[in-house]
Amino acid sequence: MQPRPAPDHRPQEILADAIGRFAPGRVAISFSGAEDVVLVDMVHQMGLDVDVFSLDTGRLHPETYRFIESVRNRYGIAIELVMPEAAAVGDLVRRKGLFSFYEDGHSECCAVRKIEPLKRKLATLDAWITGQRRDQSVTRTSVPTEQEDTAFTGNNGALIKFNPLADWSSVDVWAYIREHGVPFNPLHERGFVSIGCEPCTRPVTPHEHERSGRWWWEDSTRKECGLHAQNVVKMVG
Ligand code: SF4
């Protein structure tokens, strides 16, 4: 299958605009350790420089940690690992154990391991850049390439979220990865498509939607971990 023609707003143009519009250190790529590395590669190819951070929940696959390290080495960049508060994790685990999300949903654990760390990081920024695409799930069908983030606040209050790959399909992403020899998480070769924490991610079959392997025991219309909570608000509100 051939990649689709380039859309009107190429991701590289959106990235260059996002990086040029804000002071260094006030805009950053949120790298999830899956195929978001396309964004890192594009910035590298354009000779630009931007901060990169990744949420380390403490529950990622070993392959993901090694992949993050390979990206760091390949592009010679620092990747900031943003971690949850030890006391909050300790309290959750002490009260409810390590797998409470299978019993009463992922919200509480994601709030501790993902949302609080992300909120803390975004409070230092004016804008962030994500790899969200419209074809990823039913919660992302109207994701724009640039939006005001209504779920979080930035350094001065307002926060802009750029989604340079919003127009791209999975086919486009993988065509880019192959064409440019971009490193990718080896879990993709074992049936994993959308990769998050190890206990909450499983491989999907060819006919399943790509995020159906995330929190597979929950309702598909609420499958956001809170990083992109405004997507869910739009669906159910
Ligand atoms: S994805 Fe699962 S393990 Fe990771 S923070 Fe959310 S509930 Fe916890």
Residue 24 lies in a domain: yes
Q: Report yes or no: 74 and 15 within 8 Å, Cβ to Cβ.
A: no
Number of domains in the chain: 1
- From the list 205, 124, 129, the residue with the least C-alpha distance to 157 is 124
The atom of ligand 1 lying closest to the CA of 108 is 7
Rounded average pLDDT over 141-154: 92
Residue 137: CATH number of its domain: 3.40.50.620
Q: How far is the CA of 198 from the centre of ligand 1 (A)?
A: 8
Scanning the chain, the segments in alpha helix (DSSP H) are: 11-21, 37-45, 62-75, 86-96, 101-104, 107-110, 116-122, 170-180, 229-236
Residue 105 lies in a domain: yes
Q: What pLDDT digit, counting tens, does each position of 22-54 carry? A: 999 999 999 987 778 999 999 999 999 999 999
Is residue 118 in contact with ligand 1, taking CB distance under 6 Å? no
Is 200 one of the annotated active-site residues of the chain? Answer: no
The whole domain housing 189 covers 10-231
Residue 167 lies in a domain: yes
- How many residues are present in the chain? 237
Residue 9: band (very low, low, confident or very high) from pLDDT cuts 50, 70, 90: low
Q: What pLDDT digit, counting tens, does each position of 178-217 carry? A: 999 999 999 999 988 889 999 999 988 777 776 777 788 8
- From the list 89, 75, 87, 8, the residue with the least C-alpha distance to 40 is 75
The atom of ligand 1 lying closest to the CA of 225 is 6
The atom of ligand 1 lying closest to the CA of 113 is 5
pLDDT at site 221: 61
Residue 101: band (very low, low, confident or very high) from pLDDT cuts 50, 70, 90: very high
Q: Report yes or no: 31 and 40 within 8 Å, Cβ to Cβ.
A: yes
Q: Report yes or no: 28 and 53 within 8 Å, Cβ to Cβ.
A: yes
Residue 237 lies in a domain: no
For residue 117, is pLDDT > 80?
yes
Residue 2 lies in a domain: no
Nearest CA to ligand 1 atom 7: 106
Nearest CA to ligand 1 atom 3: 197
Q: How far is the CA of 155 from the centre of ligand 1 (A)?
A: 26
Residue 131 lies in a domain: yes
pTM higher than the cut 0.85:
yes
Residue 42 lies in a domain: yes
Residue 209 lies in a domain: yes
